């Protein structure tokens, strides 16, 4: 299970990315109902991701005594990886709060406050989703331990 959860998590991040972009498209088209459904689905997918991510950390700790998988890349790749990872983790901590506030305002049809925070939430949430997939590839595919 510890081997498959990272791929599942990357897939959930990729699905969230697609849903966020669709939600943006729908609101630009003024299709509020489709926007609402897609954004709620993106949030649910992100919650499922968080549950799977925490499960992976717990199972990894049970198997190895460490919560983390060591990055195997060398040289400039280490700098690239840790820059992406640090910004990803830092911003990921903000996404749940931002998403909940944004969704609550949207569901309450408080359009102006919703729009203001969505302009902050969307790029951060997209960045976190996309970099989550990049971190997966760097850690488990491109620079995986032999």
- pLDDT tens string 13-26: 999 999 999 999 99
Q: What percent of the chain has pLDDT over 90?
A: 88
Cα 120 to Cα 67: distance, rounded to the nearest angstrom? 31
pLDDT at 2: 66
- pLDDT tens string 24-55: 999 999 999 999 999 999 999 999 999 999 99
Question: By residue range, what is the domain housing residue 107?
Answer: 5-142
Point out the residues of the chain with pLDDT beneath 50: none
Task: Please count the structural domains in the chain.
Answer: 1
CATH number of the domain residue 80 falls in: 1.20.120.80
pLDDT at 146: 66
Q: What percent of the chain has pLDDT over 70?
A: 98
Residue 90 burial (C-beta neighbours within 10 Å; 0-12, 13-18, 19+)? exposed
Contact assessment for residue 13 and residue 127, using Cβ atoms and an 8 Å cutoff = no
pLDDT at 77: 96
Contact assessment for residue 57 and residue 67, using Cβ atoms and an 8 Å cutoff = yes
pLDDT at 144: 83
pLDDT at 122: 98
pLDDT at 1: 65
């Amino acid at each position: 299970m510890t081997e498959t959860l990272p791929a599942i998590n990357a897939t959930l991040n990729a699905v969230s990315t697609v849903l966020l972009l669709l939600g943006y498209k729908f609101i630009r088209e003024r299709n509020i109902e489709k926007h609402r459904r897609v954004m709620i689905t993106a949030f649910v997918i992100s919650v499922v991701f968080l549950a799977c991510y925490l499960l992976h950390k717990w199972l990894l700790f049970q198997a190895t005594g460490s919560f983390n998988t060591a990055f195997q890349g060398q040289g400039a790749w280490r700098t690239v990886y840790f820059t992406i990872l640090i910004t990803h983790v830092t911003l990921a901590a903000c996404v749940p709060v931002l998403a909940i506030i944004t969704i609550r305002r949207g569901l309450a049809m408080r359009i102006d406050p919703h729009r203001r925070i969505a302009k902050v939430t969307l790029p951060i949430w997209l960045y976190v989703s996309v970099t989550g997939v990049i971190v997966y590839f760097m850690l488990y595919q491109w620079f995986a331990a032999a």
